A and B are shown apart, each in its own frame.
Chain A
Amino acid sequence: DQQVKQNSPSLSVQEGRISILNCDYTNSMFDYFLWYKKYPAEGPTFLISISSIKDKNEDGRFTVFLNKSAKHLSLHIVPSQPGDSAVYFCAASALFRGNTGKLIFGQGTTLQVKP
């Protein structure tokens, strides 16, 4: 039951360029979306989130876009830096519907930023 999908297992980008990571979801009850960054043997680190009432949220070099009609969100990193190299997870929740706020994660995309 893959309610959240990240179809690209890996992405390689040159330093200074834009990284675009994509995520699709199937459950229309999801109303809160998050991106996490994860290094091996460490816990997921929160990056940025967006609620379904918005279509864009920006925080420094990170911007998340939400297209509800397409059930698609993306994370843009501009400019990409070598320290951004990690696994990026998209996660979704039916948070504002009285849910426990549990997250459903995608499979992750490994980003490599080359110097």
Chain B
Amino acid sequence: EPEVTQTPSHQVTQMGQEVILRCVPISNHLYFYWYRQILGQKVEFLVSFYNNEISEKSEIFDDQFSVERPDGSNFTLKIRSTKLEDSAMYFCASRSIGTGNTIYFGEGSWLTVV
């Protein structure tokens, strides 16, 4: 079964450093998303991406965050200057259009900012 893959699975970074989280969505999907889950809290929407541009973003997704689809397969989330409160599990997700509207999630990238 096709799946969303994410790298790295875990990253520890110093406060103020830039982090790039990578995702390979399911190949025939057209909508891409990033979500995050802070430990003990609910899964929160960050951003959606369609047709090579951001289609929607949450209040969390401020100027420190950016997304990119550099080629036909990868989808990245960049945090420019990490803060302690950015420590969370970040999930990439993707969705096709039409036949089935389910959003499928990757295994997550656990980011620890120290």
Contact = CB atoms under 8 A, between A and B. Distances in A.
A42 B107 contact: yes
Chain A: number of interface residues, binned into ranges: 20 to 34
Contact of A34 (B6, B89, B102): B102
Interface stretch (A21-29, A65-73, A75-83, A104-112): A104-112
Contacts of A18: none
Interface of B: 4, 6, 31, 33, 35, 41-45, 48, 50, 55-56, 89, 91, 95, 101-108, 110
A104 B4 CA distance: 20
Contacts of B48: 100-102
A95 interface: yes
Interface in A18-46: 32, 34, 36, 41-46
Contact of A100 (B44, B55, B102): B55
A100 B56 contact: yes
